Amino acid sequence: MIRWLLTRVRIAILITGLLQTGLTATAQTTKGPAWAGDFIVLCYHDVADIPDDPDGNTISVDNLIQHFSWLREQGYCSISIDDLIAAQRNERSLPEKAVMITFDDGYTSFYNRVLPLLRAFEFNAVLALEGSWLDAPKGSMVKYGEELAPRERFLSWEQLGQIADSGLVEIASHGYGLHYGNIANPQGNTQPALVTRQYNAEKGVYEAEKEYLKRIRNGLATNSDLIEKRLGIRPRVMVWPFGRYNVPALEMARDLGMPITMTLEYGINTISDLSRINRYFLEADQSLDDLVRDLRRDSLEAIHRAVQVDLDYIYDPDPIQQEQNLGKLIERIHSLKISTVYLQAFADPEGDGVADELYFPNRHLPVRADLFNRVAWQLKTRAQVEVFAWLPVLNYRMGDKSWMVQSEGRPASSPEHGIYPRLSPFDARARNAILDIYEDLAQHADFDGLMFHDDGVLDDFEDAHPDALNYYTQGPGLPGSIEQIRKNPGYKARWTDAKTRYLIQFTDEIASRVGKWRPRLKTARNIFATPVLQPDAEAWFAQNYTLFLDHYDYVCLMAMPYMEKADNRVKWMDGLVKKVKGYDKGLKKTVFVLQT
């Protein structure tokens, strides 16, 4: 039998200056250039003789010429959208060193400076147009991000007609009225409009899903119609403002004739998937040396150095004190050179691991404070870290006893007796409510990943919920009684494996619901040390280290000898690390949750 260790350890109480626990993972390198793939895409913006751009997106003519010259000298071949489509259809192959050059926003510099260079180098380019800027009358000011810019900074329709007729440039859409920041929360943060539900401060409500989707579709359709009307070309490429998108937006773009879209995400590109092309973003007046170094360097996964932060320690009923707490947190995260924050999204001031309230708007539980999105955004933009939303898998205070995990045959003397209740993942009501909660978070907050709490467990007397018993008979073909299953070693092994995989599948379903709104989501999941040290202990937890390594981006291993009451803590930790090293992906994907 086991000792249940489900009492939550508060990983980082940063505002008090006490770092109780840190999380780290070993850095790993992958052979080959970071941007190796079927083709590379470069993302430029404005071009000037002497860059003077507060946005930091402008490159000098001299540096652009150096970039183009180096690409040609190194054997890179400029490709077009037609080349990508032909390659995808197996009509012809891409050149060995294929590069696509893109320019966002539609500045007049494209006509005056870029187009002559494209002709001189015989390069192709993609030009993404933001229609609301082009549609403005001469002499007016347009909304340019958070600022205003003169209409004359952007191309005229006459210039665009000549550009389109050059045969070198693909005219793409950049949306209409979507290239700005929406008010995203009660605290007033602005976030990319295309992926953000707008917050109405006067009414204290968020934009409804139906209204949001209508706004996005209008922004995409209006721009395609405008470009077709003025240039006679209907765009077939969508370049997402700020590189941000979600699945509904992808589907809208496809339905509007733009199955090819471009992001600002990092990664290789293959012709098999053109629905979300990665682009290398050139910042400020980036030198040739920086470009060459980045294109040639091996891909490197930075050290995953993380802390787990309780929002309960940031929250304060006094807004001024709460902002002071947040400021101290950001300073501490920055000083510790943290790469990732696992940020609590549920309220648990009692520390019993049960989500009583949440820190974001949702359909099922009270909102202690609409705080998660504010803290996550401040961490991402000011501390420059990735943020994983940390939520329970099963432990929510909702429903009645019929929703809960049930046990059968557990003796009163069992050490497991009396652990806190969890919702049964087999109960459709509980399952759907949990999925709703995660999706509500995704619709109201900006984050990079999910960290599944340590409550996603079932022991060797669970789950005896009627729906679970029905699953055992219909799924793995087992008896409908835990007592009968436990008496047969073969049945028990199949039962254990089925429960482990069922919980994994449930987290898959959660990630799918979240990923609809937050694409390319990363996942991490807690695992106790016992199933790692003793694989047979899977029966006591429904956790399997091998399956976790294969399934999640990170496995958060609770390396806590004090909590485990180890006699020799150093020896215990050495044994745990040795065990992890014995797995193929062990050191690469395991985050050691350290207790101090």
Tens of pLDDT, residues 416-437:
645 678 999 999 999 999 999 9
Are 211 and 347 found together in one domain? no
Q: Is residue 26 in some structural domain?
A: yes
Other residues' Cβ atoms within 10 Å of the Cβ of residue 539: 19
Average pLDDT over residues 105-123: 97
Residue 49 lies in a domain: yes
Least confident piece of the model among 78-87, 132-141, 276-285, 289-298: 289-298
Structure tokens at 130: 């933001």
- Domain boundary residue, one of 297, 322, 352: 297
Look at residue 426 in the predicted model and tell me its pLDDT.
98
Q: How many Cβ atoms are within 10 Å of 225's Cβ, its own excluded?
A: 14
Lowest mean pLDDT among 128-137, 299-308, 519-528: 299-308
Residue 444 binned pLDDT confidence (cut-offs 50, 70, 90): very high
User: For residues 491 and 11, which has the higher predicted lDDT (pLDDT)?
Assistant: 491
583 and 557 housed in the same domain: yes
The residue type of 207 is: E
- 4-24 residue pLDDT tens: 333 333 333 222 222 233 444
Q: Are 206 and 200 in contact (CB under 8 A)?
A: yes
Kindly give the interhelix angle for 247-255 and 209-231, rounded to the nearest 10 degrees. Answer: 40
State whether 423 and 312 are in the same domain.
Answer: yes
| 522 within some domain | yes
Q: What is the three-class DSSP state of 174? A: coil
Q: Strands 346-347, 298-301: parallel, antiparallel or unpaired by DSSP?
A: unpaired
Q: Do 455 and 430 touch, CB atoms closer than 8 A? A: no
222 & 310 share domain: no
Q: Can you give the residue range of the structural domain that contains 353?
A: 14-30+302-458+500-594
Which segment of 34-48, 266-280, 412-426 scores lowest on mean pLDDT?
412-426
pLDDT at 270: 93
Total residue count of the chain as it appears in this document: 596
Asked whether residue 122 falls in the same domain as residue 270, the answer is yes
Do 198 and 328 have their domain in common? no
- Span 77-103, average pLDDT: 96
The residue among 255, 282, 297 that closes a domain is 297
The DSSP 8-state label assigned to residue 344 in this structure reads E
Residue 27 has pLDDT above 50, yes or no: no
Nearest to 388 by CA among 291, 580, 525: 525
Report the chain's mean pLDDT, rounded to a whole number. Answer: 90
**Residues 269 and 377 reside in one and the same domain:** no
Question: How many H helices and E strands in the chain?
Answer: 20, 28
* CATH assignment at residue 20: 3.20.20.80
CATH at 131: 3.20.20.370
Is 420 found in the same domain as 279? no
- Domain termination residue (choose one: 297, 318, 352): 297
Residue 463 lies in a domain: no
Reply yes or no on whether the pLDDT at 341 is more than 60: yes
Tally of CB atoms within 10 A around 515: 16
Residues 250 and 115 reside in one and the same domain: yes
Domain for residue 493, yes or no? no
pLDDT tens-place string over residues 143-176: 887 788 999 999 999 999 999 999 999 999 999 9
**Is 491 inside any structural domain?**
no
SS percent in the chain: helix, strand, coil, step 5? 40, 20, 40
Lowest mean pLDDT among 34-43, 325-334, 469-478, 546-555: 34-43
Q: Are residues 265 and 312 in the same domain?
A: no
d(CA 213, CA 250): 12
Whether residue 342 is found in the same domain as residue 454: yes
SS3 category, 441: helix
Residue 595's pLDDT is: 72
> Cβ neighbours of residue 110 under 8 Å, at least 6 residues apart?
47, 103, 127, 155, 163
Dihedral sign of CA atoms 140, 145, 146, 149 in order: negative
489 is a domain residue = no
Domains contained in the chain, number: 2
The reply to whether 292 and 437 lie within a common domain is no
- The strand pairing partners of 90, in sequence order, are none
Q: Is 475 a member of any domain?
A: no
Q: What is the pLDDT of residue 451?
A: 97
